[in-house]
Every structure is written in C-alpha cells, then in structure tokens.
Structure 1
C-alpha cells in the first residue's frame, strides 16, 4: 500500500511539473520569428509563419497534449474539458486523480510511467547536457537520444537507456516523419535554423536553389519569401546525397579538432 501511495504522489508531482513548465516549452517551440527582408531599397520587418524553432520542444508539446487528453478520456472527465488548454486540463486531471482508483493498477502504472518519461524529456530540454544536442528518440524505448559532434560525424549512436545502437540518419528520418504529420513549414532561412540544432546542416541558399530548379515547390509565400514543407526539404536533401556529404564534412572537421 505504501508503495502505491508513493507512486501516486510521484505521479501527482510529474503532472504538476508538466503543467507548470508548459508555458516555457511553448515559448521555445512556437514563438513567432521576426525577420528582415529586403524589399526594393528598404528593409521591411514582418512576422513569419509560426513554425517551431526547436523541434524537440515542438514534439514534446504535442506528446504532452496527447498524453493529457488520453488520461482525461480514460478518467471519464466531461467532454467539455476537451476545449481546455493543456495546462488547465492537466490541473483538472490532478484535481480528479481519485478517479484512478477505478482503473486497473496496470493502466495507472502505465500512465505514471508515461508521465515520468515526459518529465525526463522536459528536464533534458530545459537543462540539456553540455556539448550535446538532441537528435530524436530511441525507437526501442522512446528515450531521448543526444549526441556530440563526433557521434554525429560517425553516423551511429547508442541509446544510454536500452543500449541499442541506431544509425543517426534513421533517427532523423523518424523525426522528419513526425514533423511531416504535423505539417511543419517555413521559409528557407527558418528551415535552415530549424534543422541545424539537430545536426542537419541544410543551407538556406541550397533550399532556394532547389526551389529555383523546381525540385521543391512552395506551398505559399510570406511576403517575398517562399514557404516550403519541411518534409519536401528533407526528401530533397537525402535524394541528392546531401545528408551523407554533410556528414562526411562534419566528420573531417571533428577529426581535425
């Protein structure tokens, strides 16, 4: 009984952590970007399409939202709660945790484990280990994968939790598939900045060249700047061997250090 009570208290703490840190993650993932664009002989500043500036923050937000709405559904909370923001819904979940008593212990434990994993990802995001970058999640245990420059250059990475080894390109491919489902898009400059923290170096000029050649098609324009789907950029990058070429360049730089 004491073990169950301890687990429940930890579950409450984890839900509280997700609730109070939501706004911090949201600011990292979804804030608008202001850029300067040359128009005629003067500069004009405007707000661009809202895209995630940090892909792992963006994905974490989505995963927390899905988790919160799933647990609310399992708890049988009123359907009107579906219109609440994720932080408010998390608070309602915490206020009604007694409803968990009617669920199988295995279900409650699974929910608690999922909340714990989300908090782990949150901590990594807000306090990342030095000299590493987040590149995705382990396909086997869903643990966050982080790599330093040498590991990125080598092209392979071991999960620190389950010890399985993965090809970095395969992890990036899974990341791009997630973002494809979310319809992430942006201008060449935005997408360059979006890819870079994940160890994917696609120059804005390269994206523009692909657009001029008709290799990729813009889905809209933001002022004079074309807006592309992130999945189209990723496909072009891998199709023209840009991924492997960039990795070889990164490897040579890492070796020379």
Structure 2
C-alpha cells in the first residue's frame, strides 16, 4: 500500500508543497531575487542623498536644489535603515551570528543580502514567508523612490483655509494635502476643477489638454474630436492663439460635449 507524502501550503502563494519546505520553488527564487534586487538598489538609494542627483529618473528638466527636499531625504534614509535591519535580522535567523572571519562581510549590507539570498534554508525556515513578504514590501517602497509615478496637477485642496495645488497619479482614488492633511476623493477635486474651468470663458487649453482634463473627470472626449469640431466650424479657437497650436475655451468644449447651454 502506497502512502501519499505529507503536503503543506506554500507560505506565500499557498501552492501545495512537501512538509520539509515553507516556500515553493517559485517563491524561493522570487525571494532570493528580491534580496539581490535590494542589494543592487542600495547604491542608487545612497546616491539619492547626494544633492547633485536629479530625482525621478535623472530627467534634465528637473530643477536642482542646494539640498534634497526633506520628505524625499527622510524617506530614503528610512528605507535604507529598514533594508539594513532586514538584511541583518534575516542573516541572524537563517545562518546565525557570523564567524569572526566573516565579520566584514556581515557588516556590509550588500554582502549580507547576497549571502542571505544564497542561504540553504531560505525556503525551509518556518518564518520564511514572513521575511519574504517584508522583503517584497521593502522592494516596492524602493521602486517608488527610485522610479516615482508620474504626478500631475488635479486641482486645489478643498479646505477653504488651505487651497494649495494638489497632485496625483493616474488612477489614484484619494489624495491627501501635504500642508493641511485633508484627504479628499480625487474625483471631487477634478470635478471642482472642471467646473471652474468650464464656467469662465478666460480658461483655455489645447485640444490635448482639454481632452485629458475632461476624460480624467469622467467625461471622455478625444483630442481629435475637438479638432474635428473646430474644423467643421462648431468650435472656434481663442482669438489670441498661435496658428500652429490653437487653444479653445473649456466652456465651449463643455457645451459641445455635454450639451448643456449656459443661461
């Protein structure tokens, strides 16, 4: 009579594995690669502390300041400290305290992460799943620092005592004001911005700019549609526009798009 080997779920993906392991082979590889990625990210993180570095992919159009902005600097320092703590703690858990001849490697965070990634019990330690999730969270935070999402202006803070311009990335549902800490639904801010733009004839923009604002506010319209309206005479360009890049009034596009006429 054959007996089935005992199985247990992977601590990360829940796939069935043998009871000698905590992580499945795929998650073990992912864990090891994440540790190596963290090691490779330390030099760029330290470089971000240099005032000469352009943030956000080193774009040349970014303004250089005498010192890095404080929120970014603190976030980088915190992330480096968290990676260092994780590397040392994981080394202690997996391999124990280092021998004296390996002390220099242990004190080197990059070397420690590299050693951790190659530990023979990386997938068998009972707490491997917890340490893997921590590493993945650290990698996510690091990626956001090294490659921040594209932010664009969405409108002013809804707090009447504040009113600073807020920024958000595409698809972000809420935004918190960095000055007064007011959290507002992004859609609410966008609709307020749209209302302000549409009910004042002085606000104008290119076809692409207007199309983006309308679409972000839930009123889909293509830039080419706006250009076609202008070509057919339904929409007139602003009088002070440049011939090669016409601008249009938000209010005119709103009337054509939604079909609402002002009194």
TM-score under structure 2 length normalisation: 0.42
Q: Which has the higher strand share?
A: 1
The structure with higher relative contact order (CA 8 Å, sep 6+) is: 1
TM-score (norm 1): 0.43
Considering fraction of residues, name the structure with more helix: 1
Q: Highest CA radius of gyration, 1 or 2?
A: 2
